[in-house]
Amino acid sequence: MTIFVFISSLLGLMALGMPVAFALIGCGLSMMFYMGVTDPQIVIQNMWDGANSFPLLAVPFFMLAGEFMNAGGMTRRIIMMAMSWVGHIRGGLGYVAVVAAVIMASLSGSAVADTAALASVLVPLMRNAGYDVNRSCGLIACGGIIAPVIPPSIGMIIFGVAGGVSITKLFIAGIVPGVMMGLAIMLAWRWSIGRDKVKVEPKRSMAERVTATREALWALVLPVVIVGGLKIGIFTPTEAAVIAAVYSLVVGVFVYREIKLAELFRLFYRAAETTAVIMFLVSAAGVSAWLITTANIPQQLAELVAPLMANKMLLTAALMLLVLVVGTALDFTPTVLIMTPVLMPVLKQAGIDPVYFGVLFIMNNAIGLVTPPVGTVLNVVCGIAKIPMSGAIKGVMPFMIAQTIVMFLLVVFPQIVMWPLQMMTR
């Protein structure tokens, strides 16, 4: 009955149009009333405890780093570098989008920011070159959702805090799955443009390629510094976020000289605005998380999936299907915050590695960013390209299917996720 109260109150409030954060608080109050708990201080205390976490300081700094990268010209130079190397291949602008998406994912960790930057530059170019706009937007959207999987990932930070999992291990374990997502949509792109008549970009000379790569070198150094520093143990993920923000600001102001001092307030404001939304969600989820534990909902879920407990692969596959369905109705951050406290005790009881599951969980939620009806990233692309959602849904399908296949491939072969982590942490 407790599960029913939890789900019905949450979905009911959201169906009435209440914002997710307030719906989470309302859901918590409904559960308190059902359980006979009437102390209102519990709500305030758990909201405070939910946001009062040192690792969450990484969120505003990575948001700020993303703003500095876009305003400072780092994003544009990455796209130009990718274009110089693979732009001349048939369907080259699609490969440029994927290569640029993977590199940018290793810089900011924000799917929405990366997608907006890619779409604003590449959609006009792809439209003028004769590419199918719907398919191009679908590719860019699926390229953008690689950002939460490849480190540094804001989603992994939130999952790590909510589930008590090592963020550094999550970062390292996410590298190979993120690259596989990129390769999968490259293959889908190659198959989907087989009969299209599109313009091919002129092949760049080696001198032009070297120049473009040298221009983007300042951006390419950052992911090496972050991952290398985390592996060696020089700094924590939170400190890595500060380094990323300061580095991006210095490069944008003093190296590329594209960030003017007058713009700084606007960039800080935009990063703070986005951070406030995420942190309020995290804070509100603290109430629901405490009540989920108090009401023993994880144990009730464990009883429901008891027949699958003996087979880790089947249990993981079933949970992935559950998250995939939930992700069609909820946005990325709420899904992570709501599902993590429910699923973590089940994983521990079944003996599933939380780092391995965390990577698949974040990948699954990232795919949810391009699934209707919510599809936040898909909405971003539609707004920039000025196309209807119906067209974007049709265009994104082959790439979304390719990434979903990769996710379930990792369910069958978990060593693909864990082997790089074992190698890098020796």
* pLDDT (average), residues 53-79: 90
Instruction: List pLDDT tens digits, range 117-131.
Output: 899 999 999 998 889
**pLDDT tier, 425 (very low <50, low <70, confident <90, very high otherwise):** low
* 3-state per-residue secondary structure call for the chain: CHHHHHHHHHHHHHHCCCCHHHHHHHHHHHHHHHHCCCCCHHHHHHHHHHHCCHHHHHHHHHHHHHHHHHHHCHHHHHHHHHHHHHCCCCCHHHHHHHHHHHHHHCCCCCHHHHHHHHHHHHHHHHHHCCCCHHHHHHHHHHHHCCCCCCCCCHHHHHHHHHHCCCHHHHHHHCHHHHHHHHHHHHHHHHHHCCCCCCCCCCCCCHHHHHHHHHHHHHHHHHHHHHHHHHHHCCCCHHHHHHHHHHHHHHHHHHHCCCCCHHHHHHHHHHHHHHHHHHHHHHHHHHHHHHHHHHCCHHHHHHHHCHHHCCCHHHHHHHHHHHHHHHHHHCCHHHHHHHHHHHHHHHHHHHCCCHHHHHHHHHHHHHHHHHCCCCCHHHHHHHHHHCCCHHHHHHHHHHHHHHHHHHHHHHHHCCHHHHHHHHHHCC
Instruction: List pLDDT tens digits, range 230-259.
Output: 888 888 899 999 999 999 999 999 999 999
Instruction: List pLDDT tens digits, range 176-186.
Output: 999 999 999 99
Higher-scoring residue by pLDDT: 19, 395: 395
Say whether pLDDT at 374 is over 80: no
Domain boundaries, the chain: 54-279+297-424
Average pLDDT along the chain: 90
Say whether pLDDT at 4 is over 70: yes
